Chains A and B, each alone.
Chain A
Amino acid sequence: MTLLQVRDLTVTFPTPRGPLDAVRSLDLDLEPGGALGIVGESGSGKSMTSLAIMGLQPRAAQRTGSVRLRDQELVGLSEAELRRVRGDRIAMVFQDPLSSLNPYYTVGLQIEEAYRAHRPGTTRRVARRVAIEALERVHIRDAARRVDHYPHQFSGGMRQRVMIAMALSTEPELLIADEPTTALDVTVQAQILDLLQEIRRETGTGLVLITHDLAVVSEVTDHIVVMKDGVCVERGPVEQIFTDPRHAYTQALLDAVPRIDDEIGALRAVTAGGAGDAAANDKKDGGPA
């Protein structure tokens, strides 16, 4: 059975100039254990998509369509029912781990609290063991001691590991990671991406990875959805998107990615970018190359 099936998802904001769709008629499919990449530039609606899947869109926004987690429809659930799904069956990891962790509590306590909220009746002692095991699973050394440390005592990469540990403590079926490595140094990013892959292999947790980084999705995911201005412009298996993109925007985006292996004569600019920039670019491209 499909793990996540999104149909016709639309998120609309009221604006003085009329309703604006941040996400429009989006369909997504993810099989158990699969990894789906949602890529796009700023304003493409990729992050709003991840929030809307969990019912976390801003209050002013209206969400329509269908979000099914296996056989359960999430759209229309009460807040109390949604809370039981979030953090339990679906977990989320955000870009900035420091702002997602409470600086006043030890990381262990935060993992324990999150776990106990979803497993009522769990004793402190059991929750603590869960926290230590969760930290061990994300390869934090000396977990039994580190569990009593505060967020500021961890480096950026280690904090993101803590967030992933917390997300995984309830053994969710689906992990949504929104730019999980964007704030991290490249060597740390590589470790976190490896960790996500390892978790997926070992636990079968489905992964939705939201990022602006095409190289990252090419390494981590097996299916890709390319978003622009709130709509999906192209979708397909990762190899197809990277070897034979059909939509002009995907092609332009791939042309614009700077390559580490090679200097490209002139990076091909995406002309459908900001209107002003596009105009400026057209003018520039008119000159001698």
Chain B
Amino acid sequence: MSTPLLRATNLVKEFPVLGTGGLLRRPDTFRAVDDVSFEINAGDTLALVGESGSGKSTTARLAARLLDVTSGTVELDGEDVTGLGRADLRRFRSEVQVVFQDPYSSLNPRHTVERIVTAPLLYQQRSIPGGARAFTRSLMERVGLDPDHSQKYPAQFSGGQAQRIGIARALAVGPRVVVCDEAVSALDVSVQAQVINLLRELQREEGLTYLFIAHDLAVVRQIATRVAVMTQGRIVEEGDRDAVFDAPQHEYTRKLLDAVPRIRPEWERERRRNAALAAGASA
């Protein structure tokens, strides 16, 4: 077996509880992530699913080195990156990028698209291949945005388009791993479908590896290759996507899947039949 591209081993993250510490007393701690381990192979998508407070987002932030671990290790391509300092983190950030939930709050409203998507390269003191304008245009094309809009501001784009800018920024440094933290959760269903399609397409064409954080299990079914179910800071079940969805082993996974509202499958089948008939009749 080859080395997994991203590996997290025994991750623990504790936060101090506000108001519990004193002059001579250490504050109580809350363990948000409790001994979490996972591996992602290159080109795969591991979805971390769970409800609010399950620790999935904190786990993603630890893996992306946006938060420091309390204990445990993060390895990228076999290299321990847990203790990387400032200079080495830059190198790490050109390999691992993050797309956040709310594009408007994670994109600087006073910067143009060009400035936003080239910022990671400037931050890493790398030159911009082909110049900022041409580079931005090609990135915008890759994520399905009109390259003529490179001088516009985030507020001038719809939610789905703004999230494409967030994806473009993540892709700017040519990462191998993209951490998507509820990246499609705030989008309307029609736009969400487009962004999911874009993420799948980018993965297929460029071999990206995703760590995909989501609470929406139907979305996860569409994009994941493997699924890890988290609750109360721990992974309670992990497996291939279809195995987890079709034959969940853990009681919590079953409870979670049962709770998902769904359109009756027989209605869905009938709708497809009717749509096919209508298409046939009009042809």
Also in contact, A41 and B188, with CB within 8 A (given A254-B271, A274-B158): yes
- Bound form: Cα–Cα A215–B194 in Å: 19
Interface set, chain A 240-254, CB cutoff 8 A to B: 242-245, 251-254
Contact with A along B176-197 (1 / 0, CB 8 A): 0000000000001111111011
Give the A interface residue count (CB, 8 A).
Answer: 50
Stretch at the interface among B6-14, B33-41, B262-270: B262-270
**Residue A276, interface by CB 8 Å:** yes
Stretch at the interface among A125-133, A164-172, A195-203, A263-271: A263-271
**Residue A204, interface by CB 8 Å:** no
Contact with A along B253-283 (1 / 0, CB 8 A): 0011111111111011011001100000000
Pair B271/A245 contact, Cβ less than 8 Å: yes
Also in contact, A253 and B189, with CB within 8 A (given A267-B197, A284-B201): yes
- Bound form: Cα–Cα A239–B275 in Å: 15
CB nearest to B53 among chain A residues: A185
- Bound form: Cα–Cα A261–B217 in Å: 10
Interface set, chain B 148-196, CB cutoff 8 A to A: 149, 157-161, 164, 188-194, 196
Pair A185/B215 contact, Cβ less than 8 Å: yes
B104 to chain A, nearest CB (A): 13
Stretch at the interface among B20-28, B89-97, B112-120, B218-226: B218-226
CB neighbours of A279 from chain B (8 A): 146
Also in contact, A263 and B221, with CB within 8 A (given A243-B270, A244-B270, A273-B190): yes
CB neighbours of A243 from chain B (8 A): 267, 270-271, 274
- Bound form: Cα–Cα A81–B192 in Å: 43
Pair B194/A189 contact, Cβ less than 8 Å: no
**Residue A3, interface by CB 8 Å:** no
**Residue B145, interface by CB 8 Å:** yes
CB neighbours of A272 from chain B (8 A): 190
**Residue B135, interface by CB 8 Å:** no
CB neighbours of B260 from chain A (8 A): 186, 215, 260
Pair A190/B259 contact, Cβ less than 8 Å: yes
- Bound form: Cα–Cα A269–B200 in Å: 14
- Bound form: Cα–Cα A272–B219 in Å: 21
Pair B190/A270 contact, Cβ less than 8 Å: yes
Pair A276/B146 contact, Cβ less than 8 Å: yes
CB nearest to B273 among chain A residues: A243
- Bound form: Cα–Cα A254–B262 in Å: 12
Pair B160/A193 contact, Cβ less than 8 Å: no
Also in contact, A269 and B194, with CB within 8 A (given A218-B263, A243-B267): yes
Pair B222/A213 contact, Cβ less than 8 Å: no
B233 to chain A, nearest CB (A): 15
CB neighbours of B271 from chain A (8 A): 242-245, 254
Pair B161/A266 contact, Cβ less than 8 Å: no
Pair B270/A185 contact, Cβ less than 8 Å: no
Interface centre among B160, B198, B255, B270 (most CB of A within 10 A): B160
**Residue A283, interface by CB 8 Å:** yes
Pair A185/B51 contact, Cβ less than 8 Å: yes
Residues of B participating in the A interface, judged by any CB pair closer than 8 Å: 51-52, 144-146, 149, 157-161, 164, 188-194, 196-198, 200-201, 215-219, 221-222, 245, 255-265, 267-268, 270-271, 274-275
* 18 A-B interface contacts by CB (under 8 A): A41-B188, A190-B258, A215-B263, A239-B267, A254-B263, A256-B189, A257-B189, A258-B189, A258-B222, A261-B265, A267-B194, A270-B189, A270-B193, A273-B160, A276-B145, A276-B158, A277-B161, A280-B144
Residues of A participating in the B interface, judged by any CB pair closer than 8 Å: 41-42, 156, 185-187, 189-190, 193, 212-216, 218-219, 239, 242-245, 251-264, 266-270, 272-274, 276-277, 279-281, 283-284
Identify the 6 closest CB pairs spanning chains A and B, nearest first: A270-B190, A274-B158, A267-B193, A280-B144, A185-B51, A190-B259
Taking A186-B256, A257-B218 as known contacts, 7 extra A-B pairs with beta carbons closer than 8 A to each other, sorted by chain A number, are A186-B215, A215-B261, A258-B216, A258-B219, A270-B191, A274-B158, A274-B191
